[in-house]
Amino acid sequence: MPMRSLEQWLAHQERVHPHSIDLGLTRLVQVLDRLRWCQPNVPVITVAGTNGKGSVVAYCAAMLAAAGYRLGTFTSPHLRDYRERIRINGAEVASAALVRAFERIEEACTDAAQGRVSLTFFEYNALAALLIFEAQQLDAWVLEIGMGGRLDAVNVVDPSVAVVVSIGLDHQEFLGPTLECIAREKAGIFRARVPAVLGSQGMPQVLTSVAKQIGAPLKRLGFEYEFTRHADRWHYRGPRWNLSDLPAPALLGDTQFSNAAAAIAALEELAPRLPLQASAVARGLSSVHLVGRFQVIAAAGRPTWILDVAHNPDAARVLADNLRSRPIAGRTLAVCGILTDKDAAAVAFQLRDRIDEWWLCSTEGARGTTSAALAARIAPQVEVRLNETDGIGAACAAASAAAGPEDRIVVFGSFHTVGPAMDWLEAHAMLSPPDLPEYTAPPNDHE
């Protein structure tokens, strides 16, 4: 029976390849060759890093959109709907367009004369984005690297500027056990004569070494570009642009200034092809929106909810800093679900002084875990009460019942946790309903 719906295609893609994650570019290059796909002739920004990738993509997109450019963005994983991953001018791609792209990809994969090529779920996703963007005749592409860099599916595209936002410990089973190993993998997105933007200070030296070895012009925070803050305003200075009195980024948290500066540094390199006025930069900073990244939901007479997909130690440290910088009169309660292959103990350690009580929830899927198993992993790191629940909805309900109007509830630990929590909040009239179907679990492709 032929696959006609997006849901049928996604189910097929989850089972067709023997491994959910299988890094390498050989399969993608084969399929792209069969499709006669060519590298884009428009500016492309690729964004890698352990944390902050989604924010940098969002800033680039918001500023380019404010200048009137037509662009495509590719991100992963999704929170509630697969179509979130591929956007044209900020709008989610239509299901019909995805199905057409999958039909072309599958035809190329099953070419009888050339032999079958088996793709992972994420590889189908990345190839669909490339085909859809190619057909749209856009002004620019902004592509988030999925997990690593050198062998990530997105790295089949040659960028016009490459950004590495941050380096932290995550996905060590695929990228290597040390920060240096991880950084080397992420440096694989660099290209000769293509600017390489480093979005954080103090990152492993290997990033600089790789860039110099291949002849990628370095653009480092604190060296080739910098920013300074003045209360609620800030100043960006780079080799071409000197932007003063910029508005604070609309995304919350101190780290968002460096994320925004990295995005501006990337766009600055594209200025000869995509001119950008200071006013567009300012409008983009003020209008940017990204769900699940220290997203605050507040209403009078109710506890405040904060949604954050932090799922590794560095992201948890940033979350703790954000909570510390926003003291409240009441308690801070946690709804937490973390996948089994994440360092839950290190995540809890970073937040040990910020959380007054925890509601732990089971997560589903091949990488899911029970609340009891999660409790056993984090109990040595915290000294406050841990409550075990069956699922995210139950955890949200229990935390909500325990919270007073001056308290806040922080939902974190995974895309697999924040997505269902958004459904619960929407069902209880605490979140405006988006034009999306209910949450469907992301596959185990690259969180």
Q: What is the CATH number of the domain that holds 351?
A: 3.90.190.20
Whether residue 322 has pLDDT greater than 60: yes
Whether residue 81 has pLDDT greater than 60: yes
Whether residue 439 has pLDDT greater than 50: no
Q: Are residues 66 and 149 in the same domain?
A: yes
Task: Give the model confidence (pLDDT) of 124-178 as tens digits.
Answer: 999 999 999 999 999 999 999 998 899 999 999 999 999 999 999 888 888 999 9
pLDDT at 108: 95
Return mean pLDDT, the chain. 93
Answer yes or no: are the C-beta atoms of 295 and 410 closer than 8 Å.
no
pLDDT band at 443 (very low <50, low <70, confident <90, very high): low
pLDDT band at 437 (very low <50, low <70, confident <90, very high): very low
Task: Give the model confidence (pLDDT) of 87-136 as tens digits.
Answer: 999 999 999 999 999 999 999 999 877 889 999 999 999 999 999 999 99
Q: Are residues 75 and 182 in the same domain?
A: yes
Task: Give the model confidence (pLDDT) of 354-413 as tens digits.
Answer: 999 999 999 988 888 999 999 999 999 999 999 999 899 999 999 999 999 999 999 999
Based on the structure, what is the number of domains in the chain? 2
Q: Are residues 168 and 230 in the same domain?
A: yes
Going by the DSSP 8-state scheme, the letter that residue 432 receives in this structure is: P
Determine, yes or no, domain membership for 242: yes
State pTM to two decimals. 0.93
pLDDT at 413: 97
| Mean pLDDT across 422-431 | 88
For the four alpha carbons of 146, 152, 154 and 160, in that order, the dihedral sign comes to positive
Q: Are residues 253 and 332 in the same domain?
A: no
Determine, yes or no, domain membership for 245: yes
| Mean pLDDT across 237-255 | 96
Q: Are residues 342 and 194 in the same domain?
A: no
Q: Are residues 273 and 307 in the same domain?
A: no
Which residues pair with residue 197 across a beta bridge?
163, 219
Q: Are residues 209 and 92 in the same domain?
A: yes
Q: Are residues 88 and 170 in the same domain?
A: yes
Determine, yes or no, domain membership for 444: no
Q: Are residues 282 and 300 in the same domain?
A: no
- Residue 104 lies in domain: 6-287
Q: How far apart are CA 353 and CA 349, in angstroms?
A: 8
Determine, yes or no, domain membership for 100: yes
Kindly list the distances between the CA atom of residue 131 and the CA atoms of 45, 145, 161, in Å, as whole numbers in the listed order. Answer: 17, 17, 21
For the four alpha carbons of 234, 237, 240 and 242, in that order, the dihedral sign comes to positive
Q: Are residues 300 and 280 in the same domain?
A: no
pLDDT at 112: 72
Q: Are residues 186 and 335 in the same domain?
A: no
Burial class (CB within 10 angstroms; exposed 0-12, middle 13-18, buried 19+) of 75: buried
Pairing label, strands 226-230, 91-92: unpaired
Determine, yes or no, domain membership for 385: yes
- Assign residue 199 the CATH number of its domain: 3.40.1190.10
| Mean pLDDT across 180-195 | 97
Among the listed residues 427, 431, 421, 418, the one whose alpha carbon sits nearest the alpha carbon of residue 78: 418
* Proportion of the chain above pLDDT 90, given as a percent: 86
Q: Are residues 245 and 322 in the same domain?
A: no
